[in-house]
């Protein structure tokens, strides 16, 4: 009886050994668990769009995750890739998607006033069981506030339009050209000043970002004036490559025909001449 059992037991052991070896060899097909720690996000980030891309030029792999709950880490099963791009964008809304893979981009032509974009691009290797990453998003916009002196009367209706030749971004970074225009709303402050605000997206200061003022006249129709914001910021030394873009305040005064620029905690007030 023992002689009959011995071959059977030996066969079972060999089968189990072979099974274990196969499991070990095929382990690369099992997913890697990517954990994203959202605890350090800026308070103004409401939503996250996460793209997991094959970092090679083939872009044969893409996985998108939409996140709204930041109270605990988010776990995502991803393929085991040698080159991996984790592309995270915060507060993407009012947009159009185009392309796929590394060619994916989004356009924000008519919503510059609603953009408070944040992003992070992280390169990684997911050929492991677990991958942990704490998100650290960069601020991709400047909050621009226009302050008009009390001496500037706005009893007549005035139209303010901001133009920027950056209409969107590629998922993996890089801007998309196009006209992004938005109409601004004036509000009156307690001190009598009028103000308007908009978000300026990261762009090349050599472009033609400008603010257009359209003033109506009863007998002559309307007059258009352009304020070359890009030139003033360039002359003032504004750093468009900074990790988190600074907020900006423009103070305009018709009576002296000048404008002052305040960038976060420092001020630069050169005698800029504005031809109205």
User: Domain for residue 226, yes or no?
Assistant: yes
Cα 170 from Cα 166, distance rounded (Å): 11
How many CA atoms does the CB half-sphere of 51 hold within 13 Å? 26
Pair 156, 216 in one domain: yes
Residue that finishes a domain, picked among 138, 161, 177: 138
Residue that finishes a domain, picked among 110, 138, 166: 138
CATH of the domain at 162: 2.60.40
- Residue 177 lies in domain: 142-268
User: Domain for residue 184, yes or no?
Assistant: yes
pTM of the predicted model over 0.85: no
Beta strands in the chain (DSSP E): 32-37, 48-54, 62-67, 74-78, 84-90, 96-98, 105-107, 118-124, 130-134, 138-139, 141-148, 159-170, 175-184, 187-188, 194-201, 210-217, 221-227, 248-253, 258-263, 266-268
Query: H-type helices in the chain, by residue range?
Result: 2-25, 229-235
Tokens 């109506």 — which residue? 216
The predicted-structure confidence for 35-93, as pLDDT tens digits, reads as follows 999 999 999 999 999 999 988 755 678 899 999 999 999 999 999 999 999 999 999 87
User: Domain for residue 274, yes or no?
Assistant: no
Cα 248 from Cα 191, distance rounded (Å): 20
Pair 121, 154 in one domain: no
The predicted-structure confidence for 101-151, as pLDDT tens digits, reads as follows 667 888 876 666 667 899 999 999 999 999 999 999 999 999 989 888 776
Residue that finishes a domain, picked among 138, 173, 194: 138
Pair 126, 147 in one domain: no
User: Domain for residue 5, yes or no?
Assistant: no
Cα 227 from Cα 209, distance rounded (Å): 9
């Amino acid at each position: 009886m023992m002689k009959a059992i011995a071959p059977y037991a030996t066969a079972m052991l060999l089968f189990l050994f072979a099974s274990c070896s196969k499991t070990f060899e095929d382990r690369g097909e099992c997913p890697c668990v990517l954990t994203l720690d959202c605890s350090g996000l800026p308070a103004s980030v409401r939503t996250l769009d996460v793209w997991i891309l094959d970092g090679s030029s083939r872009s044969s792999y893409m996985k998108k995750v939409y996140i709204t709950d930041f109270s605990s880490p988010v776990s995502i099963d991803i393929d085991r890739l040698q080159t991996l791009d984790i592309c995270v964008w915060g507060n993407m809304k009012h947009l159009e998607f185009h392309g796929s893979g590394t060619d994916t981009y989004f356009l924000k032509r008519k919503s510059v006033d609603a953009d408070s974009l944040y992003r992070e691009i992280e390169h990684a290797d997911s050929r492991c069981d677990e991958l942990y990453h704490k998100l650290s998003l960069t601020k991709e916009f400047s909050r621009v506030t226009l302050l008009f002196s009390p001496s500037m009367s706005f009893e007549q209706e005035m139209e303010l339009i901001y133009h920027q030749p950056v209409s969107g971004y590629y998922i993996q970074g890089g801007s998309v050209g196009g006209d992004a225009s938005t109409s601004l709303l004036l509000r009156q402050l307690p001190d009598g000043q009028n103000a308007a605000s908009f978000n300026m997206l990261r762009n090349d200061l050599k472009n033609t970002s400008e603010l257009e003022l359209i003033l109506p006249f009863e007998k002559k129709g309307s007059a258009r004036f352009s304020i070359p914001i890009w030139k003033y910021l360039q002359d003032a030394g504004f750093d468009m490559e900074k990790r988190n873009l600074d907020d900006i305040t423009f103070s305009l005064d018709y009576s002296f025909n000048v404008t002052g620029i305040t960038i976060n905690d420092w001020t630069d007030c050169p005698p800029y001449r504005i031809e109205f």
